[in-house]
Amino acid sequence: MELLLILKNEALKLVKKTRAWLGPILIFILIMVAFPLTVELTSNNLSDAFYPVLFISILLVMMLATEDIFLEDYEDGTLELFFISEKSLSQWVFLKIFMHWLFIGVPISLLGAFFNIGANNDLASSLMLFPALLIATYIFLILFCFGNSLSLTKGSVLGTLITLPLTLPILVVLGKLNTAIIFNISYFEFLILLFGILSIIIFAFPAIISRIIKTHLE
């Protein structure tokens, strides 16, 4: 019951603050629409360049989406309320990240799969890409939220910069997935690897983030 209340609360906050979720989605669309303009019309490089541009733009957009994710709650005292009450801060963090993923990660994954149809004229590869993007956006969101929590009082740039190295192995796996999708080999192995990484960090990181936030509040 309490979980549903927190979920509803976070959903309402996001709905009211439209730029928090719509902004990253629009930036993603802008990048994906703009990049073909930089590629020579007569060249065949568009489909080669598509996957790398897609993954990097998702990385960038997730970085933007988590900017100040905790700052507003830190400034208005919500975090302190959680700290002094008996309520679980890690639960709240988990649900906040989940809501952000629902509002930002899922639409971006859908759009990414849609743009793939446009770039590669291939519905099958889009169907393979979609679950991978769903998992990858969640992983990026969690990692950047971790970074933001570290530099809660010092501005978001420091936090995201120091967690960027942690996202690079995920980009390597996505690159391998790209090859797997194109040649249709070992696709499920890489998808399961991504899912395995997500399953470890999905509950562990909110607990760590809550401890970090408590350190800021002490």
Partner 1 sequence: MLREILIIVIKKFIHQFASPKTYFYQVNRLYPWLLYISLSIYVFAIIWGLFFTPKDFVQGHSYRIIYFHVPASFIAQSLYAAMAISSAVFLIWRVKLAAYLARSIAPVGAMVTFIALASGSIWGIPTWGTWWEWDARITSTLILFIMYLGLISLHNSFNNFDKADKLFSYLSIIGFVQIPIIKKSVDWWSSLHQPASITISDKPSIDPSMLYPLFMAMIGFAGLVACIVILSSKVQIYIREKNKNWVKDYV
Does residue number 113 form part of the binding site for partner 1 (CB under 8 A)? Answer: no
Number of residues this chain uses to bind partner 1 (CB under 8 A): 21
- Asked if 182 touches partner 1 (CB under 8 A), the answer is no
Nearest approach in angstroms of CB 165 to partner 1 is 4
- The Cα angle at residue 107 between residues 101 and 113, in degrees rounded to 5: 120
Pick the closer one to partner 1 by CB: 13 or 176: 176
Does residue number 183 form part of the binding site for partner 1 (CB under 8 A)?
A: no
13 near partner 1 (CB under 8 A): no
Distances (CA, A) of 99 to 18, 62, 66, 180, 191: 13, 13, 12, 30, 23
Q: Name the segment binding partner 1 (CB under 8 A); options: 64-72, 119-127, 183-191, 206-214.
A: 206-214
The pair of three-digit structure tokens given for residue 154, joined into one six-digit string: 């010092």
Interface positions with partner 1 (CB under 8 A): 146, 150-151, 154, 158, 161-166, 168-169, 172, 176, 208, 211-212, 215-216, 218
